[in-house]
Structure 1
């Protein structure tokens, strides 16, 4: 692998260094990075120190080498698909068999939604929109409520309106999030998609923040019928939590 600074974009040197440490493993030395990339020592040390400062790399206990840091672990976790244990999937399937509406399990990862167990009979129509605009979905609003006052909750700029019912006023949304925290449930009717509705209940261990949402979804006109299953769904979340976390 040759180091080509003139043809590298911003951050390319850092990415190449991370690749070397990932390939060589814990204890990779600065010399190994320099030799592998044919990178000038001054540049290599500058990049390594910057990556350590930003926690993308960490120094080994003896200070002789480097390892992938906490920030990289967070990126890997966020990018990898959620894994649902067989026991948890079986419990969800059992609940699905008795209902005629969609039942999805949505995980919360680094202030983002991840589809963990999608109902095969009633797949999610607007997957991208649900993942990209959490303020418009029941699962997303439940996650935003769990984040509390975190600055990472909302994107900068105006909130996207997906339908005429989508809440785009931040103050109104904050009021709704406070209500969600109080009630322990979130819902949306015609906000993500015209004609659809969803109820989301938190899945988490006692005295800990929820790490997922159990979502019951269906046509907007059937939301009242869907909500009749809220207590059974809450019981399901209590069974799921120890299987997932």
Structure 2
């Protein structure tokens, strides 16, 4: 599990690909302070396992499912990537619960300065994940824990402070660029539990999937 607080920006050094499997070597420094084989590292919001390391880099495997669901295949040698180690049990929880399991990629549709902030609007490739997003709730963009400002049927909007911009790869992102998106896991679990409960009781139609306002009211959720 991660918090979405980026620890450092790494640099892609080497990429090898065989079909939809990849091996990535990433130059880094802070991540190496207590690294071990088998450690989980978030790379642009994707949870990957350290399979090798030396004094200046880590190497991670990318399996086909990860290849298909994330932006990792579009990286190039020299590209900057956000890095975060798995959360320590006794550490500060500065962001929100981040699994490193990407729900959808997204396209940045606008980048607009606003006073000391920069407002990014993102359109998910899978608009279905927008149902898990609420204004002032949490979203992970390329591994960064951010607060949602606005959510529509097509877009999600976040406002970035100067420190976050300077310490992450968002400083390089512009309209048209692709990013990894992970919705707040709490919303997904709540939906799963509600749908399971509805299915057990037969629901209005006797099928799962018909989550309605009447059902929520009947079961004390609203």
- TM-score, structure 2 normalization: 0.24
Choose between structure 1 and 2: higher helix proportion. Answer: 1
Choose between structure 1 and 2: higher strand proportion. Answer: 2
- TM-score, structure 1 normalization: 0.22
